[in-house]
Chain A
Amino acid sequence: GAGVSQSPRYKVAKRGQDVALRCDPISGHVSLFWYQQALGQGPEFLTYFQNEAQLDKSGLPSDRFFAERPEGSVSTLKIQRTQQEDSAVYLCASSLDETEQFFGPGTRLTVL
């Protein structure tokens, strides 16, 4: 399968715990996006990478959220000291030419 993969698919965290969510984009895709999708809502932009450079992080809701893509391929979204309002599906998408984004299946995070 050559699609975008994300792991874990489901994560339950206790409030205050740190979590790390992984995204493996389609090989060769330069652009990588992270989105947060709350229940009943559409995906909301978090951050954007072009290769290893994080060009836009304006959507990150607080400084507890941090994303990296050190080698321009795999990306990790880290959330420190999780709060209940962080519960959502986190979607990763990659793109070759920025006209179409290919989404992964998402990681459903539940913070208790």
Chain B
Amino acid sequence: DQQVKQNSPSLSVQEGRISILNCDYTNSMFDYFLWYKKYPAEGPTFLISISSIKDKNEDGRFTVFLNKSAKHLSLHIVPSQPGDSAVYFCAASPSFRNQFYFGTGTSLTVIP
């Protein structure tokens, strides 16, 4: 049973435009959420996180939005750059933090 879902396996965006990656979760015990970026043959690298006490967190070109009532989070990248092309995973954790649940990933392609 997939507790974290990324329903779009792929996304293509023109360079300079906004990329919006979506993630839904089912477990109301999740209170900490992360986005990871993964290049081929490498492990995931941490991008940005958000705790359930906030609804927005921003870091440079990356902003994560959390809608707790809808159990939905999204990652906005603006402006998108070709180097952002990678697979993006969202992950969620309950408060005890020893288990992180990952979505299946969205492959982002930024077209120059």
Contacts and interface: CB of A to CB of B under 8 A. Distances in A.
Interface of A: 4, 31, 33, 35, 40-45, 48, 50, 55-56, 58-59, 91, 93, 98-106
Give the residue among B41, B44, B46 with the most A Cβ atoms within 10 A: B44
B86 to A, nearest CB: 13
A61 to B, nearest CB: 15
Contact of A105 (B4, B41, B98, B104): B41
Given A45-B101, A101-B100, A106-B43, 13 more contacts: A4-B43, A42-B6, A42-B104, A43-B44, A43-B102, A50-B98, A91-B43, A93-B43, A99-B49, A100-B34, A103-B36, A105-B41, A105-B43
B43 A103 contact: yes
Contacts of B105: 41-42
Interface in B14-58: 32, 34, 36, 41-46, 49
B5 to A, nearest CB: 10
B103 A42 contact: yes
Q: How large is the interface on B (under 10, 10 to 19, 20 to 34, 35 or more residues)?
A: 20 to 34
Task: Please name the 3 residue pairs, one residue from A and one from B, whose CB atoms are nearest each other, closest first.
Answer: A103-B43, A42-B102, A98-B97
A56 B98 contact: yes
A106 B81 CA distance: 26
B69 interface: no
B99 A48 contact: yes
Contacts of B97: 98-99
Nearest to A104: B43
B31 to A, nearest CB: 12
Nearest to A59: B99
A29 B105 CA distance: 26
Contacts of B104: 40-42
A16 B33 CA distance: 38
A98 B4 contact: no
Contacts of B46: 100-102
Contacts of B101: 45
Contacts of A102: 46
